[in-house]
Amino acid sequence: MEDKEHCCAECFKDEYIRNFIIQEGKKGKCDVCGRDNVFVVSFDLVADFIIEGFRRAYETLENEGFWHPEEKRYCDPVTGNDLGQSMFEALYYVEEIFSDDLEEVLKL
């Protein structure tokens, strides 16, 4: 685990993500929050786990609307109205999967 691409269970509030990291991870240093001797996994591994859960909980919009590349959003093909939130908005603001401590780290 020499590369700087790992996050720890402490970076998340969501119990399923935390348990996944503890079960799949190894003790090491978190590259996000800097904690040492905590369970860490690669960003790719935890991202795959989050995306898998996200797909089970939310409908995809690819077949329901069109992507507006300039505005970076899905639009209703008839009205042009916004069809939903980005994955980040849903995970951060609705699902609130990230630890409150992480907000302080992100401000640095």
3-state secondary structure 83-97: CCCCHHHHHHHHCCC
Note down the domain range covering 50.
6-58
pTM of the model: 0.65
Residues 51 and 87 in one domain: no
In a domain, 108, yes or no: no
* Domain presence at residue 33: yes
Among residues 1, 12, 9, 7, the alpha carbon closest in space to that of 96 is found at 12
107 belongs to a structural domain: no
pLDDT in tens, 12-70: 999 999 999 999 999 999 999 999 999 999 999 999 999 888 777 766 555 566 666 78
79 shares its domain with 95: yes
Query: What pLDDT, on a 0 to 100 scale, did the predictor assign at position 108?
Result: 45
Residue whose structure tokens are 């089970």: 56
**pLDDT score, position 37:** 97
